[in-house]
A = this chain, B = another copy of it.
Amino acid sequence: MKPIRVGICGLGTVGGGTFNLLTGNAEEIRRRLGREIRVEMIAARRTNPACDTSGIRTTADIFDVARDPEVDLVVELIGGYDTARELVLTAIDHGKHVVTANKALIAVHGNEIFEAAAAKGVNVAYEAGVAGGIPVIKAIREGLAANRINTVAGIINGTGNFILSEMREKGRDFADVLAEAQALGYAEADPTFDVEGIDAAHKLTILASIAFGMPLQFDKAYTEGISEVTPEDLKYAQELGYRIKHLGIARRRTNGVELRVHPTLIPESRLIANVNGVMNAVMVAGDAVGPTMYYGAGAGAAPTASAVVADIMDLARSFEHPACAVAALGYAPGELQPLPVLAVDQVESAYYLRLDASDKPGVMTTITGVLSQAGINIEAILQKEVRSDEQVAHIIMLTHSVQESQMNSAITSLEGLEVVTGKVTRIRMDHLN
């Protein structure tokens, strides 16, 4: 069979890794696929010293690749939104298949891109966009395709997981660990995308669409970062048998879908609670299979390239018959359903609450009375070291599941109590059942 001719746009970390994997493992790839994957052309603004591209056509203009008649498949690894969108749409328009690692692009412009690809009869693959080298898109779209999927919950941002892991293990605070993560190259100079959960929300948006069969709705995702999490909260959570993880949670409810990224207490007995450092893991629960989990490196040149090249191989397998490939969001044309994403105040969740209260008789009764009146059941209470000079006690409570709007009112009431000092800290909790 004739080789598949690939054009790579972008030769940075992931682009360079992809090029090196395609060339370094060319023989293994050919043995598996039964045909050669050939790098036909590279577009990059500068050379990558880690890559020997001699003998390969290069250009500074990515659009040259998208239009080149000798290129069968365009690999978009430039990142960002607008130019990437234009590049991908141009490639599709020229009848080329596309592989991308760009979650932001897919989460925000995926619906438009997949529609254009379907109209043109080409395929767009994006496994590398979610959880790096872990083949979780494949697991959901194909491996669990017989299931009605109910829950997806994932640690899908390595930077955030590294920071929370270090904070818990060493009692360090957020700013301190963030600075180290930046020095180590785990975090960007502007860490907003990672630590505020935007990157995770991009990935979760994609996971939810392929799990539940709905269009991408990134603008409806609720996002809360980890910058407010304290070493104290991590310690109290641990005392109560929990870990705090920055989790993306998508869950099917009778009246819609929950789509939310926020710090979350999960029982330490759950396997995913023990995923530490920069590693990623995604739990997927289906009605037939029950809970499953997928673990591995969520970023880095080689792991991401592993997913990019697997996508290229998948598309190569159906190159002569593109209709054999899996549909972009895992559902046949016309079969997506516009499930509503629930507003965060409609979400149901258990909670971890921490507050400071006067250390006087009857205070606990007053506080628990407020929750009880709001219909909120308490699962556990922890009262910690009173500072005798200030006569203030830390009170930590775990609640049963309630609707978020209900919890908001209860917190307002708690903060209005004379015996409560300052704000109530609230972290959502999930047993991942």
Interface centre among A17, A141, A146, A292 (most CB of B within 10 A): A146
| Alpha-carbon distance A141/B333, docked complex (angstroms) | 27
Instruction: Classify chain A: how many residues form its interface, as a range.
Output: 35 or more
Interface string of A1-42 (1 = CB under 8 A from B): 000000000000000010001100100110111110000000
| Alpha-carbon distance A135/B145, docked complex (angstroms) | 10
Q: With A289-B133, A310-B143 as given contacts, are A317 and B321 in contact (CB-CB < 8 Å)? A: no
| Alpha-carbon distance A33/B213, docked complex (angstroms) | 12
Rounded to whole Å, the gap between the CB of A122 and the closest CB of chain B is: 15
Instruction: Determine the chain B residues whose CB is within 8 A of the CB of A142 once the complex forms.
Output: 135, 138, 310, 313-314
| Alpha-carbon distance A303/B284, docked complex (angstroms) | 13
Q: With A31-B331, A145-B310, A146-B313 as given contacts, are A291 and B296 in contact (CB-CB < 8 Å)? A: yes
Interface pair B138/A306, CB less than 8 Å apart: no
A324 within 8 A of B: yes
Rounded to whole Å, the gap between the CB of A8 and the closest CB of chain B is: 14
CB-nearest residue of chain B to A302: B288
A332 within 8 A of B: yes
Interface pair A288/B25, CB less than 8 Å apart: yes
As for how many copies of this chain the complex holds, the number is 2
CB-nearest residue of chain B to A312: B146
Q: Out of B35, B289, B332, which one reaches A34, CB within 8 Å?
A: B332
A290 within 8 A of B: yes
Interface pair A324/B324, CB less than 8 Å apart: yes
Interface residues of A in 313-341 (CB under 8 A from B): 313-314, 317-318, 320-321, 324-327, 330-333, 335
Interface pair B290/A146, CB less than 8 Å apart: no
Interface pair B293/A295, CB less than 8 Å apart: yes
Instruction: Determine the chain B residues whose CB is within 8 A of the CB of A326 once the complex forms.
Output: 317
Q: Out of B289, B306, B324, which one reaches A288, CB within 8 Å?
A: B306
Q: With A213-B32, A321-B324 as given contacts, are A148 and B332 in contact (CB-CB < 8 Å)? A: no
| Alpha-carbon distance A313/B310, docked complex (angstroms) | 20
Rounded to whole Å, the gap between the CB of A431 and the closest CB of chain B is: 17
Closest A-B pairs by Cβ, 8 of them: A135-B143, A34-B332, A146-B309, A292-B296, A133-B289, A324-B324, A289-B306, A293-B295
Q: Beyond the given A17-B288, A289-B306, A290-B303, could you list 17 further A-B residue pairs with CB under 8 A, ordered by the A residue number?
A: A21-B146, A21-B288, A22-B146, A25-B148, A28-B147, A127-B143, A133-B292, A134-B292, A142-B310, A146-B310, A288-B305, A288-B306, A288-B309, A289-B302, A293-B296, A317-B324, A318-B318
Chain A residues close to B by CB (< 8 Å): 17, 21-22, 25, 28-29, 31-35, 127, 133-135, 138-139, 141-148, 213, 271, 274-275, 286-297, 300, 302-303, 305-307, 309-310, 313-314, 317-318, 320-321, 324-327, 330-333, 335
